[in-house]
Structure 1
């Protein structure tokens, strides 16, 4: 499997940076579930409006939805993050 190993050596180091974090949170880091969930909220709430009169009104709508989403999940601790909170805080000191 030398061609596979050589291919792995050529990978940009930033691509696999999530391996530097504790194992408990890696799945949350590389998963897109939270992004997909937010996109579904936007689609569901924008559908009844069908058309926005200006680009600024669409930007404002998405901004309001993002702030609402952040407020709703502000105190939520994502899977695994509660177990390694001290470790993560030490990374950013």
Structure 2
């Protein structure tokens, strides 16, 4: 179904956006991996608000510092900021038990069976 929709997109917009559409067509095998997952997992993949918020908070911490003496000092600062940021996370992922179960099926080798 997604491939049919991609063909429709190509026939309608290829003249105006050929580079972008050709990129999708040429990389379809990798891009279509997304459709192998259930809807709940796909929602986690395409919902980037939490990652954007996290990155914004890290940028806020480093914004006032233009130079770090070493790479380690930057990493330490980001680590400490991450510790503070994650303390404020209170919102749960909707249907997390279902999402976790699906992730454990798709990525069985990465899950500790006692953690589920």
Corresponding position: 1:44 with 2:60: yes
- TM-aligned CA deviation for residue 52 of structure 1: 4.5
Gaps of 5+ in 2: 1-6, 12-21, 109-116
* Superposition CA RMSD, Å: 3.4
Which is greater in Rg?
2
SS in 1 for 2:82: helix
What is the match of residue 105 of structure 2? 90
TM-score between the two structures when normalised by the length of structure 2: 0.53
What is the match of residue 4 of structure 1? 10
SS in 2 for 1:78: coil
TM-score between the two structures when normalised by the length of structure 1: 0.62
- TM-aligned CA deviation for residue 3 of structure 1: 8.0
